[in-house]
Amino acid sequence: MREMFAGSLNVSTLGPLLALIIASIFFATQSPRFLTGTNLSLVVQQVMVVGTLAIGQTIVILTAGIDLSNGAVMAFGTIVMTRFAVDFGFPPIVAIVAGLAVCALFGVLNGTLVTSLQLPPFIVTLGTLNIAFAMTHIFSGEKTVSNLPDILIFFGNTFKIGETAITYGTVLMVLLFLVTWFILRQTAVGRHVYALGNNAEAARLTGINTRRLLVIVYSVAGLVYGIAGMLLVARTEVGDPQAGQTDNLDSITAVVLGGTSLFGGRGSVIGTLVGALIVGIFRNGLQLMGVLAIYQVLITGVLVILAVAVDQLARRRQK
Amino acid sequence: MLLGKVSGSNRRSKIRRSWPVLVLVVLVGQIFLAACGDNTATPVPAATTAGAATAAGATTAAGASGGQVIVGLITKTETNPFFVKMREGAQKEADAKGVKLLTAAGKFDGDNASQVTAIENMITAGAKGILLVPSDTKAIVPTVQKARAAGVLVITLDTPLDPQDAADALFATDNLKAGVLIGQYAKAAFGTKAAKIAMMDLNPGITVGDLRHNGFLQGFGIKEGDASIVCAQYTAGDQAKGQTAMETCLQKDPGINLVYTINEPAALGAYTALKAAGKDKDVTIVSVDGGCTGVQGVVDGKIAATSQQYPLKMAVQGVDAVVDYAKNGKKVSGYTDTGVTLIAGKAVTGIDSKDVQFGKDNCWG
């Protein structure tokens, strides 16, 4: 058990975690409302969508790839879910499955293009970003879908621990993080992902079917974006074609702040959760202090550069 | 030496392993403290829906406040001069009334998720009222309902919700009237001369854009699909996109002589395209907004006339309404017209307009 913790919470995760704690202590001194169960629950609720997207982003980045399409793919999934349920009258469960399926299919498309055409993931996902974006707007007719059935917004419902209301969606997100962490750390597939990210050629020579693995990674990531879409729908209670426009960058920010290397092979999905929470904590804390929103953007930018700088320093010291 | 090094690295790895435990202890401690903090506050109502988390936060917050009144202002974006002016006006009025102003904005026009987050945070911060310029008039409605259920007065500024009564009140320009005024002006200026019209619109499905568009048609006395409309393009109210749109329209019909624009940035973009084509002298541009750059465009003869609106008034009246609610429990409701004035470079007979000096004295941005 102890070994497992040591494995997941290595140096690259510790830095972000410290940053998160220091920031929390600072905001607690600035606003009496910050350190309440209700507010902290709210922060987790607010990072739930980007956090879930970032799970998919993490596994892609671990293979030394990147996925620019995730926000747009998620948005397409939400529009499919909501229109299927509201406009076409499918049972909500079928609508959700359809939404998850189209997202997973986009993942298959990304993975296949990356492996079969040997194109850089940056280019492939830049292309699918535009395709998913356009399909969202075409399919939605530029309209927001409202009056969703209860099942579609189930994950926005809450239960209580003490006085604090917690949404089911945040529980699902945390579970997804734990499952992903377990698979990455404790299974052969997980090891292969790291190996592939460290050195694709070496991984191939050791007998890993790297092409198939990449397609699997992108497909699973796509499915995870679909789940993020489900959470987005539950959170805002509408299907919104404009949603997710900058979430791709936010998900990369969470991964980078969490100490995962953009060069692949190094990092942890738990770090990503911490990274997402850092962004959420800053936004919430600065808001409670009454700081202008544009400074949140400024601070996020500084944090990203700091995080990458720390990663590079750690890497150089290792060598 | 060697021995020392080994034991050193051993110690380091021990520290490495115990760190996570320490961190967990701190985290758990935090949550524990947080729970305690919550217990001391007023009882929280039963939570059954997604809104309950926020609703609970608000009740707790309101119970714990009792000091300064907090007013929230949420705009579409941070950088548009219209919203900058709105924020400045709200800040001034908040200072004058001795209340605290919290502000937030989306990352881009149409960014609903950021506005949802901002509303939640402001409820937690204990805001008595929120002034909102909705990015997506439909998508934000469930969140506004949660805020109102938590006892927060929600006033939309500039743009109504869909449906309008989803907010407590609306302080805005009559956008249809703004369009009608420039439509009437254009009609009077053209007289019997045949018009070939290009419409530089906002974006599909956005109420403000539709209202101004329809108002212009109404004022000009034509219907949608009239043969005199030779081109219609979306500009997102952006100068560069306005220029591109006008270039496209000129390709389609070089004989365009009247241009309706959703706002002055789009108008100035259209002017740049017309000038490059050598047609700036033959074409009349009409617009809406009344920003200082826009009024200067009228002074320079680039824009013939514009309908001026008053973001400052919206903000000031909004802050006052929240203060009134906090002090006397009185909620505003319905629609408050914050006024619109036609500013024309050259007055046209039969059309009531103000000159550019008035426009400059009352402009924003």
| Residues 33-52 (A) with a CB less than 8 A from some CB of B | 33, 35-42, 45-46, 49
Q: Specify which residues B73 forms β-bridges with.
A: B103, B131
Q: What mean pLDDT, rounded, does chain A reach?
A: 91
CA dihedral B71, B312, B106, B286 (to 10 degrees): 160
> In angstroms, rounded to a whole number, what is the distance separating the alpha carbons of residues B135 and B110?
5
pLDDT per position as a tens digit, B324-360: 999 999 999 999 999 999 999 999 999 999 999 999 9
Tell me the chain B residues in contact with residue A290 when contact means C-beta distances shorter than 8 Å.
Answer: 100-103
Does the distance separating the beta carbons of A153 and B50 come in below 8 Å?
A: yes
B103 beta partners? B73
Answer for the pair B125, B74: CB distance below 8 angstroms, yes or no.
Answer: no
pLDDT tens track for B283-320: 999 999 999 999 999 999 999 999 999 999 999 999 99
Q: pLDDT (tens digit, 9 = 90+) per residue, A292-312?
A: 878 888 988 998 888 888 777
Residue A40: list chain B partners with CB under 8 A: 30-31, 34
Task: Identify from A18, A20, A24, A38 which residue to disrupt to test chain B contact, counting B C-beta atoms within 10 A and taking the largest count.
Answer: A38
Q: What is the pTM of this model?
A: 0.79
- Interface subset of B 51-90, CB within 8 angstroms of A: 52-54, 56-57, 60-61, 64, 78-79
Q: Which residues pair with B260 in a beta bridge?
A: B199, B286
Three-class SS state of B150: coil
| pLDDT class of B173 with cuts at 50, 70, 90 | very high
Amino acid at residue number B357: Q
| A2 vs B17, B48, B112: nearest CB | B17
B20 touches chain A (CB under 8 A): yes
Note whether A142 contacts B: Cβ–Cβ < 8 A.
yes
B117 touches chain A (CB under 8 A): yes
Per-residue pLDDT of chain A (319 residues; tens, 9 = 90+): 444 444 445 556 788 898 899 999 999 998 888 999 989 999 999 999 999 999 999 999 999 999 999 999 999 999 999 999 999 999 999 999 999 999 999 999 999 999 999 999 999 999 999 999 999 999 998 888 999 999 999 999 999 998 888 999 999 999 999 999 999 999 999 999 999 999 999 999 999 999 999 999 999 999 999 999 999 999 999 999 989 989 999 999 999 999 998 888 999 999 999 999 999 999 899 888 888 878 888 988 998 888 888 777 877 776 6
Note if the bond before B160 is cis, omega within 30 degrees.
no
Task: Specify whether the backbone of B98 is left (phi greater than 0), alpha (psi in -120 to 50) or beta.
Answer: left
The H or E element that residue B96 is part of is helix B81-97
**For the CA atoms of A131, A132, A138, A141, what is the dihedral angle to 10 degrees?**
-160
Sheet holding B229-234, edge to edge: B229-234, B197-201, B258-261, B284-289, B305-309, B340-344
Predicted pLDDT of residue B257: 97
Q: Which amino acid is at B309?
A: Q
Q: How far is it, in rounded angstroms, from Cα B136 to Cα A274? A: 30
Interchain contact, B35 vs A164, CB within 8 Å: yes
A226: closest CA of chain B, how far (Å): 17
pLDDT at B46 over 90: no
Q: What is the pLDDT, as a whole number, of residue A219?
A: 98
Chain A 209-228, residues with CB within 8 Å of chain B CB atoms? none
How far is B195 from B186, CA to CA, in rounded Å?
A: 9
Residues B123-167 have pLDDT tens digits of: 999 999 999 999 988 899 999 999 999 999 999 999 899 899 999
Domains along the sequence of chain B with CATH? 70-172+311-332 (3.40.50.2300), 175-308+340-362 (3.40.50.2300)
Average of per-residue pLDDT across B52-60: 37
What ipTM was estimated for this complex? 0.80
CA–CA dist A258, B229 (Å, integer): 54
Facing residue for A42 by CB, picked from B16, B79, B124: B124
Contacts (Cβ under 8 Å, ≥6 apart) of B150:
B54, B55, B57, B58, B59, B62, B123
pLDDT score of A74: 98
Mean pLDDT of B260-268: 96
